[in-house]
Amino acid sequence: MAAKIIAVVNQKGGSGKTTVTMQSAGTLALRKKKVLIIDGDDQNSAVEWASMAPEGMPFPARVFNLAAAGRKIHQEIKKYYDDYEYIFVDCPPAADSPISKSVLLVADLALVPFIPDGLNMSAAVRIRDTIEDAQVMNPNLRSLLLLNRVEAKTNLTNEVLDLLPDFNMPQAKTKLHKRTYYPETFLTGSTVHSLRSKAKDAIDEVESFTDELLAFLDKPLVYSQIKEKEEAHG
């Protein structure tokens, strides 16, 4: 088995890297896939998230921190290739950190959570450029933008969304909306699934995004070709 490596990256702090990592990796683990989450951030948020789980109801995937490996983190990650199907790396909020750069060298996918407001646009440009630099060394690397914390459309949101087609990065069709259930699951050390029917809309969007993620990982070239065609035909 050779694990698919998903680097969850963005220059911008608070864009939802840890939230997206825990929800999508946790969803795959609930589907009985072999999933490892590597916390690449010395804030240790992913590890703390899992540590909030009550006794007898552990977070569905294994989580540990490898931030101390610094720019050698890709060598550490390789040790786990054969034991897992999916390895998610929750990266620190800095595009040019040695951790983000090293993980991108071995990743199959750079997953970029993005809050559609003006402040996040310039940070997203930086992470896109970092991903493009990494693609020179790692031609297998694909990227996918995931809109997160989406709220009812404001003029500003609309302006940012209008710019996205020029951004040159495939965008997931599913969006994660701003919902209190996401912070709530940090406190319960779980995914939104544990909140059951009251969080149905959150569960549905996380499940839908996870389906998209799998399709993207399974057929990255075909997917991006379709995307390019769609864009070319407006």
Alpha carbon of 79 to those of 1, 72, 84, 86, 132: distances in Å? Answer: 12, 12, 10, 13, 26
Say how far apart CA 144 and CA 175 lie, in whole Å. 12
Residues 6+ apart with CB under 8 A from 68: 42
Which pair of structure tokens corresponds to residue 208? 């839908």
126 binds ligand ATP (CB under 6 A): no
19 vs 194 by CB, closer to ligand ATP? 19
φ, ψ for residue 188 (rounded to 5)? -100, 0
From candidates 4, 17, 74, 128, binder to Mg ion by CB under 5 A: 17
Q: Which does 15 bind (CB under 5 to 8 A by kind): Mg ion, ligand ATP, none?
A: ligand ATP
Residues 6+ apart with CB under 8 A from 172: 144, 145, 146, 147, 209, 212, 213, 216
From candidates 10, 11, 18, 27, binder to Mg ion by CB under 5 A: 18
Q: Which does 179 bind (CB under 5 to 8 A by kind): Mg ion, ligand ATP, none?
A: ligand ATP
The count of residues interacting with ligand ATP (CB under 6 A) is: 19
26 binds ligand ATP (CB under 6 A): no
101 binds ligand ATP (CB under 6 A): no
45 vs 220 by CB, closer to Mg ion? 45
148 binds ligand ATP (CB under 6 A): yes
Question: Helices (DSSP H) in 57-110: which residue ranges?
Answer: 73-78, 98-106
Please identify, among the stretches 17-25, 105-113, 118-126, 215-223, the one whose residues bind Mg ion according to the rule CB under 5 A: 17-25
Say how far apart CA 141 and CA 30 lie, in whole Å. 26
From candidates 39, 41, 108, 207, binder to ligand ATP by CB under 6 A: 41
188 binds ligand ATP (CB under 6 A): no
Q: How far is the CB of 17 from Mg ion (least distance, A)?
A: 5
Neighbour order of strands in the sheet with 4-8: 62-65, 35-39, 86-90, 4-8, 109-114, 142-147
Q: Which residue is nearest to Mg ion (CB)?
A: 18
Binding footprint of ligand ATP on the chain (CB under 6 A): 13-19, 41, 43, 45, 93, 148-149, 176, 178-179, 182-183, 186
